Chains A and B, each alone.
Chain A
Amino acid sequence: MSATSAQKPTLLSIRNIAKTFGRNVVLRDVSLQIAEGEFLTILGESGSGKTTLLRIIAGFETATSGEVWMGTERLDQQPPYRRRVNTVFQNYALFPHLTVEQNVAYGLRVARRPDAEIEQRVTEALEKVKMTAHARKKPSKISGGQQQRVALARALVNRPNLLLLDEPLSALDANLRRQMQVELKSLQREVGIAFVFVTHDQEEAMVMSDRIALLRSGELEQVASPREIYSRPATAYVAQFIGHTNLLRGEVRDGVARCGSLSWRTSAADGPALFSLRPEHLRPSSVASNGTVRVTGKVLQQAFHGATSLVRVECAEGLVLVMRTSSGALAAQEVELEFSPDDAIPVRESPERA
């Protein structure tokens, strides 16, 4: 997946962007390439700077330093209304005094397109988001999900090179949200416009994106496809933020990792090391397997999650491991677990940042 985006030509190039508000550093030295037609998610906790980055691309904020380029054109010195970039706002920002139709037509009207063209494109856009029946209504008369569609149509009707979406699904309830995730993704495929999607929800990011850019305290931790970011997290923070993980702290010497009483062969460099081990890679040990790392412990707690359960197991020296199992409740208090050394992924430390 990461290969596909690398092959496509670059649409937008963010170079060494930094942003400070007074003494508060929001972004530091962020560089990111966005390929044509890709669905890129900027993922991060609140306060990570993800919305600020989006607003810099849109032109609502000015970066303290760094540049934004679209092809051969420098974007960051243009006012927002000259950029071929459109935004779907978090609360949609539909104009309350205009009807659905007039909202969608807004961008074309201010660009003084001919009436016939406006009518045709607005009709098409409303059809695409299935809002034709509500064209004459005011935004206050339609539901949140419908407002969301109108906001999309209003942005897409202008045929931007890039669509920015600022947590557009956060106001919807869980069911509608899942449905919109699917719809949004297929809409993106259909129109072929690059989407930059901002969210704090890692599950949403995994479901929708071609690539995820994980932002932490104003710095990019990792930019990769969902599969890669999950299976090969670069840092401890990434491993913990995306899904559940066990972090094993230890030391590598002569190609052997030691963590308490556990040890296994690894390709990681010598020195202090940190490994991420996903709960699903732990299993109750069986006689048949060999070459696995084994550890015994006591079941502390089981949490039922539907298809799977998460089991907390306390091992020697205070090590607590979380295992994912689909085999229902574990009867034994004492269990022996195993994992294969390949599944312990070496990750970088994520030091605290101011």
Chain B
Amino acid sequence: MFSRAYKTAVTVPPLAWVAVFLLFPYALMFCYSFWSVTPAQTIVHSWNFNNYKELLQKSVYWQTLLRSMWIAARVMLFSLLLGYPLAYFLSFYAGKRKDLLYQMVIIPLWVSYLVRAYAWKTILGSDGVLNTLLQYVHLTSHPLDFLLYSPFAVALTLTHIYTPFTILPIYASLEHISRNLVEASHDLGATPAQTFWKVIFPLSIPGVVAGATFAFLLSLGDFLAPLLLGGPSGIMISNIVVSLFGAAYNWPLGAAISLGMLVIVVSLLFFSERLEKKWSFS
């Protein structure tokens, strides 16, 4: 139906743009990761594996990566635990208020990330809202300082930010379940609990996988929440990259870490895509 000229006109510009502004920069990053930097802070285009060797040898990188993944895993778990029952409630029990409540899940997504992270800082700080409230009602006499500047604060904030991202795909996959199947299950003698575990939950797995992937990957690469709320013990892998590109001025090493993150992200995406396919039956 569409002429050659039409096809060329819609294909070439985006393709060219993506090649120049996405593909080429990634390739450049790949190259950088094999270069090195002199003590005089100039980048030498000599190819070697030194950056990767350093990554493997220095435990600070490993520990930070593991901590980031641990924080991301917690965020994923909390988001699912908060998000799944809410999505299930919305889809099956909310009745007339379904639309309104659904919009209420979306609204926080439009609210500035920075603003929400900042809000948690003002709540969790040692003279923040929560601590002063606890003292005001005489539950504690001293501020609890573990609240802010800890991996806990980072995980809490990221959970707050990414829970809507997990609710929406789960809700979407629950909405795609034909209500006929639920009726068929009841008709065949399954109680509501049996129906949930044998029909509803298995059919919502693609949504769970998508939601979990969003929560994990988006929080894995986060660097603002750790800076704002993490303190020294809450530093994540992106913070190291940021400092290597800033004050520490070691672009090649930063590129190597970024490439590692890229590989992790892409392989997790690949893995979750396979998992979703395995559990979709349309």
Residues of A whose CB lies within 8 Å of any CB of B are 58-60, 79-82, 85-87, 89, 91, 93-97, 106-107, 109-111, 138-140, 154-155, 158
18 contacts across the A-B interface (CB closer than 8 A): A59-B186, A60-B187, A80-B183, A81-B188, A86-B188, A91-B178, A93-B184, A95-B181, A95-B199, A96-B203, A97-B202, A110-B188, A110-B191, A110-B194, A110-B198, A111-B189, A155-B187, A158-B189
| Contact across chains for B188 and A140 when beta carbons are under 8 A apart | no
List of A residues within 8 angstroms of B188 by Cβ: 81, 86, 106-107, 110, 154-155, 158
Interface residue? B118 (CB, 8 A): no
Residue on B with the closest CB to A111?
B189
| Contact across chains for A140 and B184 when beta carbons are under 8 A apart | no
| Contact across chains for B185 and A86 when beta carbons are under 8 A apart | no
List of B residues within 8 angstroms of A109 by Cβ: 198
| Contact across chains for B187 and A87 when beta carbons are under 8 A apart | yes
B contacts with A: majority SS: helix
Bound-complex Cα distance A110 to B188 (A): 8
Bound-complex Cα distance A80 to B183 (A): 8
| Contact across chains for B189 and A93 when beta carbons are under 8 A apart | no
Interface residue? B281 (CB, 8 A): yes
List of A residues within 8 angstroms of B281 by Cβ: 96-97, 138-140
List of B residues within 8 angstroms of A85 by Cβ: 187
Q: Contact check: which of B180, B183, B190, B279 meets A106 at CB < 8 Å?
A: B190
Q: Contact check: which of A81, A154, A155 meets B186 at CB < 8 Å?
A: A81
List of B residues within 8 angstroms of A97 by Cβ: 202-203, 279, 281
Give the distance to chain B from A125, nearest Cβ to Cβ, in Å.
13
Bound-complex Cα distance A85 to B184 (A): 11
Bound-complex Cα distance A139 to B180 (A): 15
List of B residues within 8 angstroms of A60 by Cβ: 183, 186-187
- Annotate B270-282 by CB proximity to A: 1 below 8 A, 0 otherwise: 0000000001011
Bound-complex Cα distance A139 to B142 (A): 63
Give the distance to chain B from A334, nearest Cβ to Cβ, in Å.
58
Bound-complex Cα distance A158 to B184 (A): 13
Using A79-B186, A94-B184, A96-B282 as known contacts, list a sample of 18 further A-B pairs with CB atoms less than 8 Å apart, ordered by residue number in A.
Answer: A58-B183, A59-B186, A80-B186, A81-B185, A81-B190, A86-B188, A89-B183, A89-B184, A93-B178, A93-B180, A95-B181, A96-B181, A106-B190, A109-B198, A110-B194, A138-B281, A140-B282, A158-B188
List of A residues within 8 angstroms of B202 by Cβ: 97
List of A residues within 8 angstroms of B189 by Cβ: 81-82, 107, 110-111, 158
List of B residues within 8 angstroms of A58 by Cβ: 183, 187
